[in-house]
């Protein structure tokens, strides 16, 4: 029954995007367009989300295990490196071009809009292209190491 | 600021924060949508159940909203398909390279006071604002 928990979390997340209007690209672009008719709603969404999540994550930090067992998966916090900067910048360009980030894009699949489907397929292709590129870099690095080990 | 909707933004935002906290407390996972989705795109079998469940819930939200009379409007997208494809590719590649998007870095990471996430959020916000400024006001799209 543990699978109910992530299902409900997805539902609550989706409700949040719907109620705040952030599922609509026009609403998001209204926030990003600071030189036009600026709509600060997204800022309120962020502040309200943080008002709940900051104390919530502190609570999670104090507990040893998640409710349904297993362990906490906590990404590292330090190391502002080139991939982080480049990746965030690429995401920013894509986000600014159409006003869609992954959450609203996937939620909007429910509308069966052809444009959304095309966006999500392109997004998945971008993710797989990144992973394939990483894999090939790792393989190349490993074969270089093997070659130098053989030389040495 | 004619379109400003602070009350619904605050309620919606609080729900997004609540979802992120509940996912962490219940399953120990970060509610980063790009990470949750990309984890489904490889062929290895492990670790998929909670991802599918979360995304199913996400997509179920507009369906249930429709049942109770608040159907979701079809999102307005650019008429140019090349722009949609380019944006999708950039969002996909960029969120993988940068390790997160608006949810994973912007909400969860910032809430965990992660310097990486604060930096990523500042960068994608500023770059997106510049992108909109260029496309709307310089190129006049």
- Residue A98, both tokens: 């159409």
Output the pLDDT for position A89. 98
- List of chain B residues whose C-beta atoms are within 8 Å of the C-beta of residue A8: 22, 57
- Is the CB of residue B105 less than 8 Å from the CB of residue B99? yes
Cβ–Cβ below 8 Å for B26 and A6: yes
Output the pLDDT for position A2. 84
Predicted model pTM: 0.95
The residue written with tokens 């797989």 in the block is A128
Cα distance from B45 to chain A (closest Cα, Å)?
Answer: 16
Please tell me which residue of chain B has the smallest CA distance to A80: B116
Q: Looking at the predicted complex, does its ipTM rise above 0.85?
A: yes
Q: Which of B14, B65, B132 sits opposite A48 (nearest CB)?
A: B14
**Residue B114, exposed/middle/buried by CB under 10 A (0-12, 13-18, 19+)?**
buried
DSSP state of A23: T
- Report d(CA B25, CA B28) in Å as an integer: 6
DSSP notation for B34-102: HHHHHTTSSS--TT-HHHHHHHHHHHHHHHHHHHTT-PPPPPP--S-HHHHHHHHHHHHHHHHHHT--I
The pLDDT tens digits of the residues spanning B40-86 come to: 998 776 789 999 999 999 999 999 999 999 999 999 999 899 999 99
- Would you give the end-to-end CA distance of chain B in angstroms? 21
The residue written with tokens 């030389």 in the block is A151
Residues of chain A whose pLDDT is less than 70? Answer: 1, 151-152
Closest CA to B103 of B38, B35, B28, B10: B35
Closest CA to A45 of B105, B107, B66, B52: B107
Mean pLDDT of the region B14-39 = 96
The pLDDT tens digits of the residues spanning B76-121 come to: 999 899 999 999 999 999 999 999 999 999 999 999 999 999 999 9
Cα distance from B69 to chain A (closest Cα, Å)?
Answer: 13
* % of chain B exceeding 90 in pLDDT: 91
**Residue A101, helix vs strand vs coil:** coil
Entry field: residues in chain A: 152
Output the pLDDT for position B31. 96
In which region does residue B11 sit, left (phi positive, over 0), alpha (psi from -120 to 50) or beta (all else)?
Answer: alpha
Whole-number average pLDDT of chain B = 95
- Is the CB of residue B132 less than 8 Å from the CB of residue A93? no
The pLDDT tens digits of the residues spanning A63-102 come to: 889 998 789 998 999 889 999 999 999 999 999 999 999 9
- Report d(CA B19, CA A10) in Å as an integer: 7
Mean pLDDT of the region B17-27 = 97
């Amino acid at each position: 029954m543990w699978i109910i928990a992530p299902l409900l979390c997805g539902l609550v997340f989706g409700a949040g995007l719907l109620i705040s209007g952030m599922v609509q690209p026009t609403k998001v672009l209204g926030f990003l367009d600071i030189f036009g008719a600026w709509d600060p709603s997204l800022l309120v969404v962020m502040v309200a989300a943080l008002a709940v999540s900051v104390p919530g994550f502190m609570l999670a930090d104090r507990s040893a295990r998640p409710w349904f067992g297993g362990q906490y998966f906590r990404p590292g916090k330090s190391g502002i490196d080139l991939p982080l900067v480049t990746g965030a910048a690429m995401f920013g360009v894509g986000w600014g071009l159409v006003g869609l980030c992954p959450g609203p894009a996937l939620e909007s699949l429910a509308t069966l809009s052809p444009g959304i489907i095309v966006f999500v397929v392109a997004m998945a292709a971008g993710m797989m292209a990144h992973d394939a590129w990483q894999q090939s870099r790792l393989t190349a690095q490993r074969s270089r190491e093997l070659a130098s080990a053989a030389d040495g | 600021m004619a379109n400003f909707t602070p009350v619904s933004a605050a309620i919606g935002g609080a729900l997004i924060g609540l979802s992120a906290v509940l996912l962490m407390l219940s399953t120990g996972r970060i509610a980063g949508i790009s990470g949750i989705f990309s984890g489904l795109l490889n062929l290895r079998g492990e670790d998929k159940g909670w991802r599918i469940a979360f995304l199913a819930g996400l997509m179920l939200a507009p369906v249930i909203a429709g049942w109770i009379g608040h159907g979701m409007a079809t999102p307005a997208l650019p008429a140019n398909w090349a722009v949609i494809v380019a944006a999708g590719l950039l969002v996909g590649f960029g969120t993988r390279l940068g390790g997160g998007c608006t949810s994973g870095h912007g909400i969860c990471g910032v809430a965990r006071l992660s310097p990486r996430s604060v930096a990523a959020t500042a960068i994608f916000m500023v770059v997106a604002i510049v992108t909109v400024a260029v496309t709307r006001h310089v190129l006049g799209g």
